[in-house]
Amino acid sequence: MPRLALMIDLERCTGCKSCEAACKSEHALGPTERHNRVVWLGSKLEENSDNNKALDFLALSCQHCERPACVRACPVSPKAISKNKETGVVTVNEDACVGCGECVTACPYGAMGFDPDGRHAVKCDLCSDRRAEGSTTTACAAVCPTKAITFGPRDELLNTTEANNREMIKNDPFLLGPATIYLDRITNKQEKFDAADRNSPKVIDSFTNISINDTVFPYGHDREDREITRIESGGCNICFNSCTTKFHFKDDKLVKITGNEEDPALQGRVCPKSQISIQLYSSKMRLTQPLKRIGKRGDNNFEPISWDQALDEIAQKMRSIKKTNGSEALGLFSGTRTGTLTNRGYIRMFSKLWGTPNFVTTEPFCSSGKNLAYSMTQGYSGPGNSYTESDMGSAALHVYWGDNQAETRPVHFGMINDWRLKKGSRMIVIDPRKTVTASKADWHIPIRPGGDMALALAIIHYIFEKNLHDEVFCKAWVLGWEKWKSFILKKGYTPEWAAKFADISVNQIYKLAEEIAHADGCIIYGSRGINQHMNSTQSNRVLMFLAAITGNWGRPGGAYFNMSASLPIDLQIPEDKLADIKKPKLRTSPVGWTKAILEGKPYPLRSMFVNNNPMALWPDQSETRKALLALDLLVHIDIFPNETSAFADYVLPAATGIEKGEVGRACEDRRIVWIDRMISPPGSAKPDGWIWIELGKRFGFEDVLKEEWKDSAKFWDEALISNIQLRGVTQKRLHSNPYKWVRFPVSTEEEPEIQTLYLEGSTAPGAPKGKRFPTDSGKLEFFTDELEKKFSAYGLSALPEFYGDKESLINMPHLEVIDDDSESGILGPFASGGLSIRGQIVSPKTPGSNTKAIQEGYNLELITGRPAAPHFHSWTHYSWQSQEMWPDLYVQIHPKTARKLGVKDGALVLIESRHGSIHARAWLYSGMRPTSVFIPIGWGERQPFSKWHSVNFLTDKTQRDPISEQTNLKSLLCRVKPI
């Protein structure tokens, strides 16, 4: 057998730590016990910290040295560490090891692990157990979303390195002869990689006091206990990547979750979250019984009760509230954990049978802006391209604009980056901070938060002025583009005009415009960085217009791609069963409901069912909490106790993923991944569907919300796929392949999947024959009289006029909201017919509240957003391993700014906005704009491992886009103080 090795590509690695999760899962390693670790490296924190070295990742494991320092240091005889003569693999004999730690001291790579509980060394042996069982690769290489890790005979790896002309990092200063091959960066490369000029941020892997006792099976168990007897394919229900996975069981016990290598699309790649979700399924912290509050609300005192008692009492209270305040006094909020089947199915049905318009999901926090913008422009609320090599992989230019895909959909990013490197296409990232995505780009543009719309308008101005637009496409397929052109030119939205707002030089804007206009296939990815602003809908439209006028629509490798593709689920409820709803929906965003609860205006809302965690997720926590506390009835349905459950009257334990059977999250790739029910929920926890059906029975809804629909697979086939686009996605078809997904739209079980929608010459799915796009005109619509009428109702115009957010370091034209949430406002013509706020664009000359705020010291731009890949909102904070990787709430701040404030790396700081204050630990990061700070979402003060207040104590519920009601979460003012 030849000498074996790992090859690790720094150009590809995104630091997601999926390999860490895979390793711990394969070897059942407990907290702090490691065979590998992905070290995040920043630049040194000296005076001029180098932005080019702001972020790199070193996936570290044993180098399987020719002259292993660890072996020589081992005092035991015969040595407790040995080296295989053929493969070169260095292995520790855990039974012979006396735990003296000498090898740990000796290894200059810091690659020798230790089991603090069993008190012996542990180390990477290139998965010898796994290979002995027939696997051809290591656990880490198998899951890596970016293909950064390759395993194989060292000679072969060296050959590919040479063939691809890649430079290797020098990793043998001490003549130990390491086997591992590290490939140096290609893009963004200044000089040879040298760990000596790097610094590892203190907030990552900073150790917590988690011990093996905080874990349950399979961690810490021997391999014999974990022998796999059954494998089932399914998927991950956490993010929009919708990865396919395999669930490995020993009898009925879940042993590990891996990727599904049989899936031709994802090929076994997954991020850490799906693997770590085994810790959520088996967590000791799960809610297992219905609970009823005893004592004061918020005291977190509960008694366990039966399901019957819980549902009877809740139903009783609901009836009495209905009697005094009407059925509309019930609000329903459902977050992402609850799953598509419930959010789009069970609860929605319940709300219609009960008679309340007040049902919302997290859309107004995430994506309602882009949904509306797509619907207006394209006629359907999501993009039509797919993550295939011949579609999105074929783009010549990828522009990530406010989309940190590498950390939010790590596998899709890995695929794009792989194709890009193979094809040699360019990547540009526009983001105020050097996100992981930006760290991989050919060009990172650190835009001012809130300057996106201005930049996009300027690019369009440049393109029109220089006649770089695709006139043929515009003429044939765009309605109102000429009107738009003259509007832009008349308004004078030039690069010179935009430079100040975007904080980007004029020349850079020219260059960016040229690149976008000339690329043969450009995909502009937009996401929360575009959506979470007061100009959410309009910014999205402007970016859509940019893609359209450059011909990047309805073609492979060209798009405006703002995820994700919402499922066109139509619920079939017989007319006569629909409840009579007399009042219009309160605001589209549930943060707009607080006045209805607190003051009974515009009309009273007295009871709420909340799934997931509004008491961390909703903007403006102080107001949110005041409101939720004032309700007559608050029912919380979830899998873990959290901030919200502490305030609830009843807490109902729910099931998730393979405990109930569901589809993956609305996938940005239009893949519908089916997840079978494979295990029972813990204790007496129940699937969400069960809960709504049982509650429905108390009101006589069982003829619509049928008993048999507790079986989610049946519910899918019978209740959810009547829309022509979903009709072919039956259980039968989903189960007809080993990866259980189908890419919609397909109208029959036989119809082939469509890779790229809206191609020239095609008819849009569900549209009348000949209509390329599913709009009324069959074209992309920039301007119509009807649009103009609708926009003007909100105080805006159909041709997007520039305005930014209210809080900014410079005076921008911005939006002042006219209607307070206690006022009715208007019946919004766009957003599902609910009561809407109106706005008014205020000129930059009007001194805003900014000047005063800046004078008061709020002189940093606050950006909130998703943390690194192992975390997802609050879910992952119940997994010890995500917590081990990223324990603390942090604030990214530029070293220069930090120095001025006297803040040290890793130190505790106070962050204050005009809306509240929180604590966090400082992460001195040279990839930050010196005037901005970033704080991630997801932490909460009642989480089991490390307790921090949610960043939403700093955000403001009133800063909303009137059309989509998206809250501005990306551009606020704050100040930071050392403690």
Judged by CB under 8 A, does residue 272 bind another protein? Answer: no
Q: Output 119 or 626, the one with its CB closest to ligand HEM.
A: 119
* Number of chain residues interacting with another protein (CB under 8 A): 77
Judged by CB under 6 A, does residue 100 bind ligand HEM? Answer: yes
Judged by CB under 6 A, does residue 107 bind ligand SF4? Answer: yes
| Distance in Å, CB of 101 to ligand HEM, minimum | 8
For residues 215 to 254, the per-residue mask of contacts with another protein, x marking binding by CB under 8 A and - elsewhere, is --x--xxx--x-----------------------------
For residues 816 to 835, the per-residue mask of contacts with another protein, x marking binding by CB under 8 A and - elsewhere, is --------------------
Q: How far apart are CA 361 and CA 689, in angstroms?
A: 16
Judged by CB under 8 A, does residue 88 bind another protein? Answer: no
Per DSSP, the residues of 322-345 read HHHH-GGGEEEE--GGG-HIIIII
Instruction: Pick from 43, 51, 63, 537 the residue near another protein by CB under 8 A.
Output: 63
Q: Output 112 or 488, the one with its CB closest to ligand SF4.
A: 112
Angle among Cα 535, 536, 542 to the nearest 5 degrees reads 85
Spatial strand order in the sheet of 671-675: 662-663, 671-675, 741-743
End-to-end CA distance of the chain: 58
| Distance in Å, CB of 412 to ligand SF4, minimum | 8
For residues 373 to 412, the per-residue mask of contacts with ligand SF4, x marking binding by CB under 6 A and - elsewhere, is ------------------------------------xxx-
292 forms bridges with which residues in the sheet? 303, 650
Q: Which one of another protein, ligand HEM, ligand SF4, none interacts with residue 58, CB within 5 to 8 A by kind?
A: another protein
Q: Which one of ligand HEM, ligand SF4, another protein, none interacts with residue 64, CB within 5 to 8 A by kind?
A: ligand SF4
Q: Find, among 618, 630, 716, the residue nearest to 673 by Cα.
A: 716
Instruction: Pick from 75, 700, 738, 770 the residue near ligand HEM by CB under 6 A.
Output: 75
Judged by CB under 6 A, does residue 898 bind ligand SF4? Answer: no
Judged by CB under 6 A, does residue 96 bind ligand HEM? Answer: no
Instruction: Pick from 28, 54, 70, 513 the residue near ligand SF4 by CB under 6 A.
Output: 70
* Number of chain residues interacting with ligand HEM (CB under 6 A): 3
Angle among Cα 103, 108, 112 to the nearest 5 degrees reads 40
Stretch that binds ligand SF4, among 54-62, 479-487, 505-513, 638-646 (CB under 6 A): 54-62
* Backbone phi and psi for residue 43, each to the nearest 5 degrees, phi listed first: -80, 165
* Polymer length of the chain: 979
- The tokens of 115 are what? 């089991």
Strands 607-611 and 330-333 turn out to be parallel
| Distance in Å, CB of 170 to ligand SF4, minimum | 15
- The tokens of 149 are what? 């890790």
- Restricting to residues 22-51, which ones interact with another protein according to CB under 8 A? 32-34, 37, 39
Q: How far apart are CA 667 and CA 242, in angstroms?
A: 5
Judged by CB under 8 A, does residue 172 bind another protein? Answer: yes
Identify the DSSP state of 719. Answer: I
Given a contact cutoff of 8 angstroms between Cβ atoms, the answer to whether 238 and 276 are in contact is no
Judged by CB under 8 A, does residue 170 bind another protein? Answer: yes
Instruction: Pick from 6, 54, 71, 265 the residue near another protein by CB under 8 A.
Output: 71
Which residue in this structure is represented by tokens 């009843």?
A: 650
Q: Output 92 or 720, the one with its CB closest to ligand HEM.
A: 92
Q: How far apart are CA 180 and CA 25, in angstroms?
A: 22
Q: CB-side exposure of 903: number of CA atoms within 13 Å? A: 31
Q: Which residues fall within 8 angstroms of residue 856, CB to CB, at 6 or more apart? A: none
Judged by CB under 6 A, does residue 98 bind ligand HEM? Answer: yes
| Distance in Å, CB of 635 to another protein, minimum | 33
Instruction: Pick from 64, 440, 448, 485 the residue near ligand SF4 by CB under 6 A.
Output: 64
Q: How far apart are CA 50 and CA 894, in angstroms?
A: 11
Instruction: Pick from 122, 157, 203, 243 the residue near ligand SF4 by CB under 6 A.
Output: 243
| Distance in Å, CB of 122 to another protein, minimum | 9
Sign of CA dihedral 745, 749, 754, 760: negative
Judged by CB under 8 A, does residue 467 bind another protein? Answer: no
Report the C-alpha dihedral over residues 526, 531, 532, 536, rounded to 10 degrees: 130
Given a contact cutoff of 8 angstroms between Cβ atoms, the answer to whether 290 and 694 are in contact is no
- The tokens of 487 are what? 């509007």
Judged by CB under 8 A, does residue 282 bind another protein? Answer: no
Judged by CB under 6 A, does residue 72 bind ligand HEM? Answer: no
Instruction: Pick from 6, 58, 112, 658 the residue near ligand SF4 by CB under 6 A.
Output: 112
- Restricting to residues 452-511, which ones interact with ligand SF4 according to CB under 6 A? none
| Distance in Å, CB of 5 to another protein, minimum | 15
Stretch that binds ligand SF4, among 106-114, 579-587, 750-758, 800-808 (CB under 6 A): 106-114
For the beta carbon of residue 323, count every other beta carbon within 10 angstroms: 10
Q: How far apart are CA 548 and CA 222, in angstroms?
A: 58
Stretch that binds another protein, among 68-76, 413-421, 449-457, 497-505 (CB under 8 A): 68-76
| Distance in Å, CB of 111 to another protein, minimum | 7
- The tokens of 573 are what? 């409820």
Judged by CB under 8 A, does residue 111 bind another protein? Answer: yes
List b or e across 887-921, with b for residues whose CB sees 16 or more CB atoms inside 10 angstroms: bbbbbbbbbbbbeeeebebbeebebbbbbbebebb
Given a contact cutoff of 8 angstroms between Cβ atoms, the answer to whether 838 and 817 are in contact is yes
Q: Find, among 449, 417, 451, 446, the residue nearest to 430 by Cα.
A: 446
Judged by CB under 6 A, does residue 242 bind ligand SF4? Answer: yes
Q: Which one of ligand HEM, another protein, ligand SF4, none interacts with residue 324, CB within 5 to 8 A by kind?
A: none
For residues 260 to 289, the per-residue mask of contacts with ligand SF4, x marking binding by CB under 6 A and - elsewhere, is ----------xx-xx---------------
Question: Quick check: helix, strand or coil at residue 23?
Answer: helix
**H-run or E-run covering 234:** strand 230-235
Q: What's the alpha-carbon Rg for the chain, to the nearest Å?
A: 28
Name the site residues for ligand HEM (rule: CB under 6 A): 75, 98, 100
Question: Which residues of this protein are in contact with ligand SF4, per CB under 6 A?
Answer: 13-19, 38, 57, 59, 62-65, 68-70, 90, 107, 109, 111-112, 123, 144-146, 148-149, 176, 236, 238-239, 241-243, 270-271, 273-274, 409-411
